[in-house]
Amino acid sequence: MTPDTETDEGDVRFVRQLIGLDYAVRTNPVARAFGEALAEGRITGHRCPSCGLVYVPPKGFCPICTVPTGSEHEVAIADRGIVTSWTVLTPIQYAGQEEREDYALASLLLEGADGTVGQQRLVEVALDEIRMGLRVEAVWAPEGEREPDDRGYGLGTAITGWRPTGEPDAPADAYREHVL
Ligand SMILES: [Zn+2]
């Protein structure tokens, strides 16, 4: 701690400096099992034993019924689904930014799940052709390059993106309850 930060007196000083931060996130058994399945090319969810809703990624509990869920409640989720909403991002070119072109992140309702998975990259589709109801399938990273998201929020790097299947769009009834 410098003298300037030990007192309320004196001018505030700012320092412009690029730094790198490495984070270590403690995982939990539910997130770990989910990540291990992803590494094997499987998406899993938990079905609440009380209300029957399926959560992906599994949380280890149903937030509606407040009952715990575990491996005995695991169900398989398809690696395909429909776009319920999306955002096109224009990356600001700050130092360290690796994105150069506009790209789209979407919320997806996967087959077998009752809630959407957010922040999923859409690939192999023109940005102006993205729409609600668009059917997509996962593009899996090669085995050995599938790093799970141990926080339990997303799909990590196991799936590099989602591309259109080319099938007819899902009807609005299929996603109207999931549009943010
Ligand atoms: Zn429930």
Q: For residue 50, what are the CA distances in angstroms to 15, 41, 61? A: 54, 28, 11
How far apart are the C-alpha atoms of 140 and 138, rounded to whole Å?
Answer: 6
Residues near ligand 1 ion, CB 5 Å cutoff: 48, 50-51, 62, 64-65
Rounded to two decimals, the pTM is 0.84
Contact by Cβ (8 Å): 142, 131? no
Name, in order, each residue with C-beta under 8 angstroms of 57's C-beta and a sequence gap of 6 or more.
Answer: 31, 34, 45, 117, 149, 152, 153, 154, 155
Band the pLDDT of 18: cuts 50, 70, 90. Answer: confident
Cα 69 to averaged position of ligand 1 atoms, centre (Å):
9
Q: Using 50, 70 and 90 to split pLDDT, how confident is the model at 5?
A: low
Q: Where are the beta strands (DSSP E) in the chain?
A: 43-47, 54-55, 61-62, 67-68, 74-77, 80-89, 103-110, 117-121, 135-140, 159-164
pLDDT (tens digit per residue) in 148-169? 776 666 788 899 999 999 999 9
Give the integer Cα–Cα distance in Å for 16 and 18.
Answer: 7
**What average pLDDT does the segment 115-141 reach?**
96
The CA 115 to ligand 1 mean position distance, Å, reads 12
